[in-house]
Amino acid sequence: MSDHTRAQRPEAAPFTERTPRVVAARRLTRRPGRDRAEQFLAEGAQAVREALVWSAAGRGRVHELFVTDTAAERNRSIVDSALEAGVRINAITDKAAAGLSETVTPQGLLAVCDPVDVPLETALRGTPRLVAVLHGVTDPGNAGTVVRVADATGADAVIFAGDTVDPHNGKCVRASTGSVFHLPIARARDAAEVFEACRTAGLALVAADGYATDDLDTADQRGDLAHPTAWVFGSEAHGLPDTVIADLDTSLKVPIYGAAESLNLATAAAVCLYASAKALRRKD
Amino acid sequence: MSDHTRAQRPEAAPFTERTPRVVAARRLTRRPGRDRAEQFLAEGAQAVREALVWSAAGRGRVHELFVTDTAAERNRSIVDSALEAGVRINAITDKAAAGLSETVTPQGLLAVCDPVDVPLETALRGTPRLVAVLHGVTDPGNAGTVVRVADATGADAVIFAGDTVDPHNGKCVRASTGSVFHLPIARARDAAEVFEACRTAGLALVAADGYATDDLDTADQRGDLAHPTAWVFGSEAHGLPDTVIADLDTSLKVPIYGAAESLNLATAAAVCLYASAKALRRKD
């Protein structure tokens, strides 16, 4: 570590859970606090590393880091690159870290970031070929896992539509393992607006629906999956409302070859998005 | 409801958390208790319904049901079919139900069941074509989700190998959404024994490994996936140990087309098992 970075390290006692900066950051663990401050917390080495890369690419700002002594020792290169980027580093106590954490085992390392979401038109600009739309997904872990899967399949964007969870929820950020910083994410309460924007972008709107007549294999054989597609996924408990399904171009189910009734949201999304990604690549 | 079934309903006050039968059942929420009693708890309407079907098929016994008044009202047909099968029904208080539950929102309906696992040779008998082996998977939710996915893909069996979680763990049973009752499940501490048994059954042993050179698409194009396969999945945190990978026939990764570093266990398993299931069906 250079003298320069060492000199910037806080020498004073670490912030506690009562220090105003920590109290302010703690408000970001709840949606109203995030909405008011227009900031969110990214926790853990992977998320903070990806946040710094995202910030360096000019896609948003990392405002400050909170880090315990132990976490600073363990993640020197991350803290150093934050210092080099001019990000303020706040030393915190373990108890302060626990208060900022939304996990059972606090990581001791958090970044205060600008929101990752972009306007719908920005997320869909150019000629997107594969997009995931979440509609009424309320479990943040599921939503984050779908963002991770969408990122893995090279999707162009993920849209959080209707009453879907906040992508900046700590559990969502964590489940995405950094993917919220990788691909464009947009939010829109009005699902009809999302579907309209997808159509304008040349995407076919396909409902993932366990009750659909057609399945993924049949659609693949017909060549339907090689068309630019926005997959629409509903809530784990209730799937997509019939009124939403009726608004889309088609519905497909993942074929069930055994006795299971259905798949969960994230595994179904993985199978659907990989089938499309593969079909689109075959066409290239 | 017939008079016959109504007559068998307990008229006495419901069991509390201190009633010996409830105290005994509560021990089944922990592995030592399950191992000692050789019984486990299936919670919720879906799991209990599947347990009763499994029992009616002669695959194991459902010993008794615990049910709150509210849950009995909501699940009359399940309670009735349990009574018809001669299963003892114990009315319990909400507090007793909470003590037996491993979930945040107790379902108020639980069945005490024989273990679902069968000997390794039984699970692999005949000519299995698709098997999932879990090695060192410690998160019960992940393990249960893989059982659900394996069931959906029509897999012949799931083997819990090495230091993998107990398939009868409440979170595993719940995540499987009844699938633990659908397909043969075997447990074996000695992974080498599992691999040997898979080879004897004519299965190719394939490691799901994010660091593999070959990917699923390449293997599919070569026709490798149309061969009877035992997929081996490692822990979410560490994957498979190198020593295990070296013991297997080959390693494949799920291709990552975007910026994500990896997939989580359940989504990777979904993509791998569906790719094999599809290739095996194409061959038919």
Which domains, and CATH codes, for chain A? 3-113 (3.30.1330.30), 120-283 (3.40.1280.10)
| The two structure tokens encoding residue B70 | 């509210």
Q: What is the pLDDT of residue A71?
A: 97
Mean per-residue pLDDT over chain B, rounded: 94
Radius of gyration, CA atoms only, chain A? 21
Q: State how far the Cα of B153 lies from the Cα of B275, in Å rounded to an integer.
A: 9
Q: State how far the Cα of A250 lies from the Cα of A78, in Å rounded to an integer.
A: 45
pLDDT tens digits along B49-87: 999 999 999 999 999 999 999 999 999 999 999 999 999
Cβ of B276 under 8 Å from any chain A Cβ? Answer: no
Instruction: Select from A180, A274, A280 the residue whose CB has the most chain B CBs within 10 Å, as the one to mutate to test that interface.
Output: A274
Cβ of A237 under 8 Å from any chain B Cβ? Answer: no
Q: Which A-chain residues 164-203 have CB contacts (< 8 A) with chain B?
A: 177-179, 182-183
Q: Count other Cβ atoms within 10 Å, centred on residue B128.
A: 19
Cβ of A284 under 8 Å from any chain B Cβ? Answer: no
Model confidence band, residue B4 (pLDDT cutoffs 50, 70, 90):
very low
Q: What is the pLDDT of residue B8?
A: 44
Q: What is the pLDDT of residue B3?
A: 42
Instruction: Give the percent of chain A with pLDDT over 90.
Output: 92
CA distance B116 to chain A (A): 16
Instruction: Determine the length of chain A.
Output: 284
Q: What is the pLDDT of residue A282?
A: 87
pLDDT tens digits along A229-257: 999 999 988 999 999 999 999 999 999 99
- B150 CB neighbours in chain A (<8 A) are 258
Q: CB A254 to CB B152 under 8 A?
A: yes
Cβ of A256 under 8 Å from any chain B Cβ? Answer: yes
Mean per-residue pLDDT over chain A, rounded: 94
A8 has pLDDT over 70: no
CA distance A147 to chain B (A): 9
- A259 CB neighbours in chain B (<8 A) are 151, 179, 182-183
pLDDT tens digits along B147-189: 999 999 999 999 999 999 999 999 999 999 999 999 999 999 9
- A178 CB neighbours in chain B (<8 A) are 260-261
Segment among A12-16, A170-174, B132-136, B250-254 with least mean pLDDT: A12-16
Total beta-carbon pairs less than 8 A apart between chain A and chain B: 107
Range A92-114 average pLDDT? 94
CA distance A192 to chain B (A): 28
Cβ of B145 under 8 Å from any chain A Cβ? Answer: yes
Helix (H) or strand (E) holding B103: none
Q: Count other Cβ atoms within 10 Å, centred on residue A150.
A: 30
Q: What is the pLDDT of residue A5?
A: 43
pLDDT tens digits along B89-109: 999 999 999 999 988 889 999
Q: What is the pLDDT of residue B100?
A: 96
Model confidence band, residue B11 (pLDDT cutoffs 50, 70, 90):
low
Give the SS3 label for residue A262.
Answer: coil
Cβ of A138 under 8 Å from any chain B Cβ? Answer: no
B224 has pLDDT over 60: yes
Instruction: Give the percent of chain B with pLDDT over 70.
Output: 96
Q: What is the pLDDT of residue B78?
A: 97
Q: Which of B154, B183, B271 sits opposite A270 (nearest CB)?
A: B271
Q: State how far the Cα of A93 lies from the Cα of A15, in Å rounded to an integer.
A: 6
Q: State how far the Cα of B163 lies from the Cα of A73, in Å rounded to an integer.
A: 31
CA distance B180 to chain A (A): 10
Q: Which of A145, A152, A258 sits opposite B258 (nearest CB)?
A: A152
Q: What is the pLDDT of residue A242?
A: 96
What does the angle CA B155 – CA A256 – CA B203 come to, to the nearest 5 degrees? Answer: 20
List of long-range contacts for B76-84, beta carbons under 8 Å, 24+ apart:
B76/B1, B78/B45, B78/B48, B78/B49, B78/B52, B78/B109, B80/B1, B80/B5, B81/B52, B82/B48, B82/B52, B82/B111, B83/B5, B83/B8, B83/B9, B84/B5
Q: What is the pLDDT of residue A84?
A: 96
Q: CB B274 to CB A259 under 8 A?
A: no
